[in-house]
Amino acid sequence: MTGNDVCIVNATVRTMDTAGSVAEAFRFRDGRIVAVGSRSSVLAGAASGAEGGPRVVDAAGATVLPGLIDAHSHLEMLAYAWEVAVDCRSTRASSIEDIVAALAERAAAVRAGEWILGQGEHYQHTKLAEGRYPDRHDLDRVSTTHPVIYRASYHLNVFNSLALDLLGVDDDTPDAPGGRIERDPATGIATGRTFDMFAPLGGPQAPVAVLADAMKAVQQRYLSVGITALGDILLHSHALDALVDLATREELVLRTVAYPKLPSVVAAADVRSAALAGRFSVVDGERLALGGIKVFLDGGLTAGAAALHDDYPGQPGYRGELAYTDDQVAELVRLADDAGLQIAIHAIGDRALDQAIDAVAALPPDRRAVIRHRIEHAGNMFMTDERIKRMLDLGIVPVPQPAFLLTTAPGYAGHLGHDRIGTLMPFRTLIDAGLAIPGNSDAIGITADQHHPFPAMQAAVTRRTASGEVIDGHEAVTVAEALAMYTRWAAYSLGWEDLIGSLEVGKRADFVLLDADPLAVSPDALGEVTVRSTWVDGREVYRLRH
């Protein structure tokens, strides 16, 4: 008997292969699956195998799925939100006064000059008693000796006066392409609210060692909900350093395909010269791999910075900003494609979506669909028959966020109205058109369980928000499709479909044991399915403690 040769028996093994096969047992050796089938066939094969035979694990009737995959994650941002920042979300703060008090408590506990970060949530201004986000003056009441940041999303950060001074923001500081420093219309003085300006202003980062430890803590939370692999979007340089450090020290358990952001994490010259690829050459490529580069074409709709074809409501002449010209985006797509990398294009507004699709279409005909270029957030809204057809024809992978049905989607509708955005999260339409939608969270910590795949699957199936509202119910997916989103289709979006995403011979032994069969429970109970244990490379890395 050897520890790395194991048979899992007495299970409902939903392999998530293309045929939807269900098995009773499977065997893996040295972290790779070598047999899948009936209990008798798997054990018979084991009996005729190596001397001593495998260890047999009785799953006690549990349902087994491939390890789940979050195809658009932010390990770094969750580390800040959950392990570094002060919790200022609506579960704790119902007013700006509450936010000020929470941040002041932290400021009083740390040495002078230390940065204080507060984590809020999308559209939190609609939940605060004052009906607005805090500004610099509110945060000045937290401290005048600590630089203070309140973060509602990656796109919207508010700084106090000391923080603005330290970042060099004055009356003449220009907006970055695609970003905006809000100014008082009467005086021209910065209010402290900024939109997609954190990286251009050189916002602070935690030391690499601190961030790496925080990312390890978040990793365990992912494993506890059955996630075994990520498509990780790296937004700041220390995130890449920390991720490579964890992999080098063999402390990165989650399989990770990295998409560092250009230009805040990686320069175009480093993509062109393969210097970026060289950063990953020292680690196990089946644990941490370079998938591509991330590029932002516009800001977030949550920050009123998505690039639209028409004016924002109540803001005549304002349609958001594009970060690049059409030619520049086409050049960035060619840069990634020439390097053999995906480009993950952030495009939320309809104007940004069209720019992204046009840029991929500008590739030489013989290069289109050779590499699966991605458009992050495509499929959340603004989906027309023409855009869907163009993405399908060009081999573009749309990456909408099922979890946003629980949190952000109602705000989208309230912000622009259904007439502008069309059907919200039209997953049924996208799947029927032939597009494989990868499951993902885009979690940055705005809720405690934003990373959890099963509530997001339930939302995709039932179309119910966290408040119980049904949004565009005709776009519901089946439970089997929801599972495919977080397994096989997510692996496809990362280019790892031959490695993970289904339980088949030759693939890695990444899997989860559940307390219930997702296809047997009521759709309204899907979000309550609990992970009993999580395995990566045939090794148990999480077990539920009772």
- What confidence tens digit (pLDDT) does each residue in 354-364 have? 999 999 999 99
Residue 379's nearest CA partner among 361, 414, 359, 404 is 404
User: pLDDT > 90: what percent of the chain?
Assistant: 89
pLDDT over 70 at 47, yes or no: no
Confidence of residue 116 (pLDDT cuts 50, 70, 90): very high
DSSP code at position 306: S
Kindly report, residue by residue over 296-338, the tens digit of the pLDDT.
999 888 778 899 999 999 999 999 989 999 999 999 999 999 9
- In angstroms, rounded to a whole number, what is the distance separating the alpha carbons of residues 514 and 226? 9
Question: Between β-strands 63-66 and 227-234, what pairing exists: parallel, antiparallel or unpaired?
Answer: unpaired
Paired residues of 58 in beta bridges = 9
3-state secondary structure of 342: strand
CA atoms within 13 A on the CB side of 159: 26
Count of C-beta atoms within a 10 Å radius of residue 465: 17
Biggest CA pair distance of the chain: 83
Q: Where are the beta strands (DSSP E) in 212-316?
A: 227-234, 255-260, 288-290, 292-296
Which percentage of the chain shows pLDDT scores above 70?
A: 98
Interatomic CA distance for residues 484 and 337, integer angstroms: 27
**Span 382-436, pLDDT tens digits:** 999 999 999 999 999 999 999 999 988 888 888 888 889 999 999 999 999 999 9
Range 45-74 average pLDDT: 86
The pLDDT of 505-517, averaged and rounded, is 98
Rg (CA), the chain: 23
Give the pLDDT band of residue 51 (cuts 50, 70, 90): low
- Angle between the N-to-C axes of helices 385-394 and 350-361, in degrees from 0 to 180, rounded to the nearest 10: 30
Q: What is the pLDDT of residues 198-229, one digit of tens each?
A: 999 999 999 999 999 999 999 999 999 999 99
Asked if the model's pLDDT at residue 50 lies above 90, the reply is: no
Contact 523, 461 (CB under 8 A): yes
Structure tokens at 526: 């899907």
Average pLDDT over residues 104-130: 95
Phi and psi angles of residue 497, each rounded to the nearest 5 degrees, phi first? -65, -20
Strand partners, 346: 296, 376
Closest to 9 in 3D by CA, of 37, 34, 30: 37
| In the predicted structure, residue 2 carries a pLDDT above the cut 70 | no
Set out the domains of the chain in order of their start, with CATH numbers. 83-195 (3.10.310.70)
Rounded average pLDDT over 374-379: 98
Average pLDDT estimate for 99-104: 98
Which whole number is the average pLDDT over 346-360? 98
Distance CA 319, CA 293 (A): 26
Long-range residue pairs from 318-323, CB within 8 A, at least 24 positions apart, any chain: 319/349, 319/351, 320/349, 320/351, 320/352, 321/175, 321/177, 321/178, 321/179, 321/180, 322/177, 322/178, 322/297, 322/298, 322/351, 322/352, 322/355, 323/176, 323/177, 323/178, 323/179, 323/296, 323/297, 323/298
Residue 405: closest CA among 356, 357, 497, 469: 469
Q: How far, in Å, CA of 437 to CA of 234, rounded?
A: 21
Task: Provide the pLDDT for residue 340.
Answer: 97
Average the pLDDT over 471-498 and give the result: 98
Cis amide bond preceding 455, omega within 30? no
Spatial separation of the C-alpha atoms in residues 361 and 351, rounded to whole Å:
15
Contact 232, 441 (CB under 8 A): no
pLDDT of residue 46: 67
Query: Tokens representing 485?
Result: 């989103």
Residues 6+ apart with CB under 8 A from 287: 247, 252, 255, 256
**Among 69, 71, 68, residue whose Cα is nearest residue 514:** 68
Please report which confidence band the pLDDT of residue 509 belongs to, taking 50, 70 and 90 as the band edges. Answer: very high
CA distance 119 to 128: 14
Distance CA 243, CA 166 (A): 28
163-167, 188-192, 404-408, range with the lowest pLDDT: 404-408
Q: Is 180 left (phi over 0), alpha (psi -120 to 50) or beta?
A: beta
How large is the average pLDDT for residues 39-57?
A: 77
Q: For position 213, what pLDDT does the model report?
A: 97
CB 142 within 8 A of CB 148: yes
Q: What is the mean pLDDT of residues 132-143?
A: 98
User: What three-state secondary structure class fits 81?
Assistant: helix
| Mean pLDDT, range 473-477, rounded to an integer | 97
CA 279/CA 289 separation, integer angstroms: 10
Tokens of 338: 């020439």
Q: What's the pLDDT tens digit per position in 244-261?
A: 999 999 999 999 999 999
Interior CA angle at 124 toward 530 and 199, to 5°?
90
Average predicted confidence (pLDDT) for the chain: 95
pLDDT given at position 413:
81
CB 72 within 8 A of CB 444: no
Report the C-alpha dihedral over residues 365, 367, 368, 370, rounded to 10 degrees: 150
Phi, psi dihedral angles at 66 (to 5 degrees): -60, 155
